[in-house]
Structure 1
Amino acid sequence: MAAPLRSQVLELLRQDILASEFEPGERLVEARLCTRYDVSRTVIREVLRQLESEGLVTTVPNRGPVVAELTPFDAKALYEVRGALEGLAGALFAERASAEQRDQLNQVLQRISSISDTTDLPAQLAVKNEFYDILIEGAVNPVIATSLRGIHARVQMLRGLSMQAEGRTEQTLKELTAIVDAAAIRGDAEAARQACEEHVRNAASTALREMSARQRERATPPP
């Protein structure tokens, strides 16, 4: 049962971080995590190592593991690179994806639409990750795949922030629909590139705005 248990705790802690149950920069104390998830220190340490490899946790000297904290400058830099690479991935998908991959991308879009009006953030993040996985796979470029997956891991928390912003879910659905239309249906590489780049620009704008709002909240003393 060790591996399934570790996977369950990994998913729970990942979801809690993405849902801001733990604040950026907050220490992840092993004893507290053991109590919270009712598991051993061994399981917690393995989970923390995995989350560190995903960019959600970082180890700070003399403090131990903490929730990764991106500065606005870091976030902007990540989104700039993500926009360029995702635009290229979209263009290559339009040129190289198989009929099966095109159909899969459209099916995932329908699933995104079906849960867009729910408050189940983990489910929304999971299906969006699946959308990007198919897009990357259909681009058939291992360099883009490795680079984008690393970037997606680091912006995962920001994605959760942006998706919770008012009106962002509806706008995201429109943007992803444009990507599928250009890349999977029409096979228009340039239109797919532009649609992907616009999606990332809008996500970046929303995430950076939400980051600033969170920082102001933390800086405001309680009444």
Structure 2
Amino acid sequence: MSALRETQQETLRVDRPAKTLRELTLEKMREAIFAQHFKPGERLVERDLCERLGVSRTIVREVLRHLETEGLVATLQARGPIVARTTAAEALQIYEIRGVLEGIAARACAERRDPETVAALEVCLTAIKDAYGAKNMPGVLDATTEFYRTLFTHADKDIAWGIVNSLTVRINHLRSMTIKTTDRDVEGPLQMRRIVDAIRAGKGEEANAAAQQHVKSASAIAQQLLQERDGQ
């Protein structure tokens, strides 16, 4: 009898959704900003967002506040929430931080000479190439983030990853622009291949240099795009 009761309880149990409506709305808004569906400087009107997203004003407000903490939304006294505009100077700082920390992590991985590290990075690199091939730009962003999470994790650079991870949304905002430029689908993975090859060979300085060169290349592209956007 108890077994029957347990079966009935399992049948009636309501499974909690993997993601809440707020989390799904947050993802949609991030994707829309990355895809420039909402352009830098564009005003974000709560009533319009409620209608377009099909969610309550409470959720929209919570999501906008969260996006503000991530640096994707700014609130102006006279206009309210707008899509934040990353300046060329701000982008340069982000890339400078990335270059130094990713170089350190790459060198540490190379010095460890761990085959599991190389194998994990190869999986990430394949995912990046596959996403590019399918023209799945959100997939490229996700796989690239995983590549660097793997790099820092296997290097035991948790504090450094914490710093980079705190900038991940802003990094992906910039990356969403650079990955669409001509030949980036070839040059980007090729530069990352050099990082992995140096790690496999146990060449710490080469891994450091390859990581910094990859970031430097992305930074140059971002600088050009942002300067063109701002008419500089």
TM-score, normalised by the number of residues in structure 2? 0.85
Structure 2, gaps ≥5 residues long: 1-16
1:14 offset after TM fit, Å?
A: 0.6
The number of aligned residues is 216
1:194 aligns with 209
Q: Does 1:132 align with 2:148?
A: yes
Q: Does 1:54 align with 2:70?
A: yes
* Secondary structure in structure 2 of the residue aligned to 1:136: helix
- 2-side partners of 1:100 and 1:45: how far apart? 44
* Secondary structure in structure 2 of the residue aligned to 1:164: coil
Q: Does 1:203 align with 2:210?
A: no
Aligned-pair Cα RMSD in Å: 2.1
1:99 offset after TM fit, Å?
A: 4.3
1:8 offset after TM fit, Å?
A: 1.6
1:117 offset after TM fit, Å?
A: 2.6
Q: Is this contact kept in 2: 1:48–1:57, CA < 8 A?
A: yes
Match of 1:70 among 60, 78, 86: 86
- 2-side partners of 1:35 and 1:141: how far apart? 44
Alignment of 1:141-152 (within 5 A): 141-152=157-168
Cα–Cα, structure 1 residues 45 and 51, in superposed 2: closer, same or farther, change >3 Å? same
Counterpart residue type for residue 197 of structure 2: D
Alignment of 1:89-108 (within 5 A): 89-96=105-112, 99-108=115-124
Cα–Cα, structure 1 residues 93 and 200, in superposed 2: closer, same or farther, change >3 Å? same
Match of 1:22 among 38, 44, 47: 38
- 1-side partners of 2:70 and 2:150: how far apart? 19
- 1-side partners of 2:74 and 2:159: how far apart? 25
Cα–Cα, structure 1 residues 49 and 97, in superposed 2: closer, same or farther, change >3 Å? farther
Residues 113-151 of structure 1, C-alpha deviation per residue, up to 9 Å, x if partnerless? 122233221111111111111112122123211211123
Structure 1, gaps ≥5 residues long: none
2:132 aligns with 116
- 1-side partners of 2:126 and 2:202: how far apart? 19
1:101 offset after TM fit, Å?
A: 3.7
2:97 aligns with 81
1:102 offset after TM fit, Å?
A: 3.1
Q: Is this contact kept in 1: 2:131–2:137, CA < 8 A?
A: no
